[in-house]
Amino acid sequence: MLDPALDPIEQMPLRLRVAERLRSAIVTGKLRPGDPLTETALAEQLNVSRAPIREAIQDLENDGLVETVPYRGKRVKPLTVQEVIEICDMRQYFEVMAVRRIVEGGTEVVGLWGPCREMASAAASHDREALVAADEAFHRCLIQLSKHQLLAQLWNGLYLRIHQIMSLRIDEDVDLADIAGAHPPIVEALEAGDVDAAVRLVSLHSNALADFDPASIAETTQ
C-alpha cells in the first residue's frame, strides 16, 4: 500500500517553469531594469526552445516586470522614480491595514518570529538573498494574518515590485542588520495589542524602503 504522506509530483508546464526562473532573476536583481530579453539568447542559456521563452516573457509582461520597446524588443521594465514612490506608498497602505486588522481581531502573531530569526541570521552571515527571502516571508505572513483575502491577493502582485526594489537597494551600502532589526519591534507591538505603535513602526519600515536615491535604480524620464 502506498504511503498516504507521499504527495503527487506536479507536472508544471515548461512555460511556467521558464517564467518562474526569469521572474526570480528579475525580482532578485540578477536581471536588472533595462536589461534586454532576447529569445534566442535565453533559449540557449536555459536549454529550451524559443516558444516557451516567448510565452514566459508574455506572462512577465502581464506581471508588469517586462515591457516592449518599439523596434528594440523586450526588456526588463525600468523603474521610474514615480513608480518607486507609488509602490512604497501602496506597501504602507496595505501593511497599516493589516496591522490594524490583526490588533482589532486579537490575532496570534507568533508565526512572525520565525522570519525575524531568519533575517537576523542572514544579516549576521551577510547573506543578502537569504535576508530578502526572510523579509518576504515576514511580510507575506503579516498580510495573511490580516485574514483579508483580497488584500492577500493584491499583495502577491505588489510584492514582486517590492522584492525587486529591495534587492536593488541592498546592492548599495545598506546595513543588513538595520533591515533585520526593524522587524522584531513590529511583532512586539502587535503582541502587546498597541495598534498606534504597530502602525507607526510598520509605516517607518515601509518608508525606509524609499530611503535611498530612486534614480540609482530608476529611469528619471517617464
Kindly give the pairing relationship between strand 218-219 and strand 79-80: parallel
110-129 pLDDT, tens digit each: 999 999 999 999 999 999 88
34-43 pLDDT, tens digit each: 999 999 999 9
98/93 Cα distance (integer angstroms):
9
pTM of the model: 0.81
Are the C-beta atoms of 74 and 214 separated by less than 8 Å?
A: no
Mean pLDDT of the chain: 88
54-107 pLDDT, tens digit each: 999 999 999 889 999 998 999 999 888 888 888 889 999 999 999 999 999 999
187/189 Cα distance (integer angstroms):
5
Task: Spell out the domains of the chain, with CATH numbers in brackets.
Answer: 14-77 (1.10.10.10), 80-219 (1.20.120.530)
